[in-house]
A = this chain, B = another copy of it.
Amino acid sequence: MSQSSDPRGELRPIRLGMVGGGQGAFIGAVHRIAARLDGQYELVAGALSSDAARALASGAELGIGAARCYSDYRDMARAEAARPDGIEAVAIVTPNHLHHPVACAFIDAGIHVICDKPLTTTLADALDLRQRAAARGVRFALTHNYSAYPLIRAARAMVAAGQLGSVRIVQVEYAQDWLAADLEATGHVNGHKQAAWRTDPALAGPAGCLGDIGTHAAQLAEYVSGLSPAEISADCTTFVPGRRVDDHVQVQLRYAQGARGLLWASQVACGEENHLRLRVYGTQAAIHWDQDLPNELTWHPAGEPARRLTRGMASLPDVAAAATRTPPGHPEGYLEAFGNLYRDFAEDLRDARAGRLTPARVPGLDDGVRSLAFVEAVLASSRANAAWTTLSVPA
């Protein structure tokens, strides 16, 4: 591909590999669409499955040459690092328990990483990854995709600019129903690919609903409010008989400067599809956002009528405009938000190509460490009958 006006090749798409995400996977397909959306990546290698035949077939469907269809991620890291045209970044879309070993393999090979959340299954592993990445100088993106919605970025900017005054109340909830049925008792859990691994502590880690969606809720609340809870009181529940992880989580939040909050995440809330909702109330105004209406942000200035801010509107903060592809009234959604992370991380990677040391544009290892600190605090509090537990995040 000729790039006459781009002699340094900076505009050249990023060469991307993927671990996990073979036929039938959910999140792997999402990552691939996100990577394609803006033409900033080229998927050229994969360890899409640990089954060699399936890895090959999955790769063929995606136009990956057979030579770069690996069945072992360690081989892939080694081989790609050795190629002159080897991948520059890898997307890790495996079940949670593999995030750490896979990320280690690629970090150690000097390859940048895009990793699905939660970062790891333990805080210790998260800290280990952070240390390794720093040592090796690789860039790391953690796909807290909800924080990449244009209006979420607008909300964060508005809070940061003081438009809410001092934050008093944070209400965040993430409700689903796809694990509400008695899957374990009926044995159906084994035939349900997503449910099978997400309810298995060996694959998902000790946190079920908490790790899967509670971490998204916590990250979103923190991303927008700019506040981290100082202490939490958590009550984790397992409603479905035979389930080995939590499927419902309630957390009271207390913030250092006095704000209060509630976090609710559930995978057994009948009728809720993927309902993520955030409300932040300050002394001067409040904002509401709901993933069912992702192109709107409701802005409630004290004593004035509520305003409906819409994606693409000229008066929004610049960060929102930068994260939008279509004019107001042309709805964008989940994939576009996910694509924003990929597009922004491509900028990070181009900086890395050029040796520029720039601050990360997307959530990364610090967010992952914070998430795992949150997970461990919630589990500890819940085991202690919801005792207040200090949330301390290793610096």
Identify the A interface with B (CB < 8 A): 1-6, 11-13, 26, 29-30, 32-33, 36-39, 56-57, 60-63, 65-67, 168-169, 171, 176-178, 180-181, 233, 235, 237, 239, 248, 250, 252, 254, 258, 260, 262, 264, 266, 268-275, 281-286, 291-295, 298-310, 312-315, 325-336, 385-386, 388
Contact = CB atoms under 8 A, between A and B. Distances in A.
Contacts of A295: 292, 333
A151 to B, nearest CB: 12
A147 to B, nearest CB: 15
| Most-contacted residue by chain B among A299, A307, A309 (CB, 10 A) | A307
B307 A252 contact: no
B67 A2 contact: yes
A228 to B, nearest CB: 18
A328 B274 contact: yes
Given A260-B248, A274-B328, A335-B336, A39 B63 contact: yes
| Most-contacted residue by chain B among A61, A178, A260, A293 (CB, 10 A) | A260
B326 A330 contact: no
| Most-contacted residue by chain B among A26, A239, A310 (CB, 10 A) | A239
B11 A180 contact: no
User: Chain A: interface secondary structure?
Assistant: loop
Contact of A273 (B13, B286, B329): B329
A317 to B, nearest CB: 13
Given A273-B328, A285-B271, A3 B37 contact: no
A110 to B, nearest CB: 25
A296 to B, nearest CB: 8
15 contacts: A5-B56, A33-B325, A36-B36, A177-B302, A180-B283, A252-B252, A269-B281, A270-B284, A270-B286, A270-B302, A295-B333, A332-B333, A333-B336, A335-B335, A335-B336
Given A169-B269, A292-B295, A331-B333, 17 more contacts: A2-B65, A6-B60, A33-B38, A39-B62, A168-B239, A180-B283, A262-B262, A271-B298, A271-B300, A274-B329, A275-B329, A291-B329, A295-B333, A305-B308, A326-B335, A331-B334, A333-B336
A62 B213 CA distance: 36
Given A271-B285, A335-B332, A63 B325 contact: no
Given A237-B260, A299-B305, A325 B335 contact: yes
Nearest to A3: B60
A325 B298 CA distance: 27
Contact of A388 (B326, B328, B386): B386
Given A260-B250, A270-B284, A270-B302, A331 B294 contact: yes
B4 A60 contact: yes
Nearest to A274: B329
